Amino acid sequence: MAVDLDDQREQVLRALVAAMRGGTAARSKLLGVKGEALAAATAENRSVRAAATRPAIERYTGVLYDALDVGTLPAAARRRLGSSVLIVSGLWGLVAPTDAIPAYKLKMGASLGRLGRLSTWWREPLTGALTAVARGRTVWNLLPKEHDAAWSAPDDLAQTSVEFLEPGRGGELVAVAHWNKLLKGALVRHLLEHPGTTPDGLRDWEHPLGFRMDPGRTRSAGARTVVSLVRA
| Distance between CA atoms of residues 149 and 48, nearest Å | 25
Residue 26 domain flag: no
Closest CA to 183 of 145, 157, 204, 210: 210
CB of 191 closer than 8 Å to CB of 140: yes
Strand, helix or coil for residue 197? coil
CB of 161 closer than 8 Å to CB of 226: yes
Range of the domain at 73: 6-19+53-231
Please tell me the total count of domains within the chain: 1
Amino acid making up residue 190: H
pLDDT at 1: 47
| Distance between CA atoms of residues 185 and 180, nearest Å | 9
Residue 40 domain flag: no
Residue 25 domain flag: no
What DSSP designation does 162 have? E
Residue 88 domain flag: yes
Residue-wise pLDDT tens digits, 22-79: 999 999 999 999 999 999 999 999 999 999 999 999 999 999 999 999 999 999 999 9
Residue-wise pLDDT tens digits, 195-229: 989 999 999 998 999 999 999 999 998 889 999 99
- pTM recorded for the entire structure: 0.91
Is the confidence at residue 2, as pLDDT, over 60? no
